[in-house]
Amino acid sequence: MSTSTPKLILASQSPRRIDLLHKMELKFEIIPASVDEVTDGAQAPEENALALAHQKAAHVARKHPGNFVLGADTIVVLDSTLLGKPQNAQEAEAMLTALSGRAHQVITGVALVDPEGVHSGHAEVSTVRIRKLDNETIRRYIEGGEPMDKAGAYAIQGEGAKLVEAWSGSWTNIVGLPVEAVCRLLKEAGYPHSPDTANIEIP
């Protein structure tokens, strides 16, 4: 194990997760994990999200031992169908059409590897209901480019907020990182700095 002071490493290059950690006034390095985001149809959505988060954290922790490594993975579930990030405008349109007028779950798995290599984790579940969307609204939203790197093809913290009729649970979880769970995992793992969530505005 490294003898230097442990750092906090985010195993993700997600702008949403980076922004939330900055707002928590945490000092961290960004080292994205290079893993195949493959889900297991035999597992529950929460298990899939948590497994992928652990894979990401473990991948970076192996190369940078002796640090706190945080991994996360967000999936959107409509009925029993997992919705990932759309690969093109056609996929984004299909996802938004399917979500239109319906409620779905947003699940973020968060995993932490501490300097001793001990893993901890949590899967947070929130519910979002999308308004009934007409074809023109969907087309304009896709043309704006926002859906393309978002699970479920929308961003609740961006223009996608206009598509949302209601939500419940953790708002930051829907964005991509449940800060309440992150705070708890860091505290339980002995991370020496206390996160500050006062700067995170919840609509």
Residues noted as catalytic: 73
Question: What would the two tokens of residue 190 be?
Answer: 């002995």
For residue 193, give the amino acid letter: H
CA dihedral 6, 31, 186, 25 (to 10 degrees): 90
Phi, psi of 45, rounded to the nearest 5 degrees:
-55, -40
Q: Crossing angle for the helix pair 135-143 and 89-99, nearest 10 degrees?
A: 140
- Is residue 2 within 8 A of residue 20, CB to CB? The reply is no
Alpha helices in the chain (DSSP H): 15-23, 45-63, 89-99, 135-143, 171-175, 179-188
User: Two tokens at 114?
Assistant: 């501490």
How far apart (Å, rounded) are the C-alpha atoms in residues 27 and 10? 10
SS3 34: coil
Q: How far apart are CA 57 and CA 24, in angstroms?
A: 20
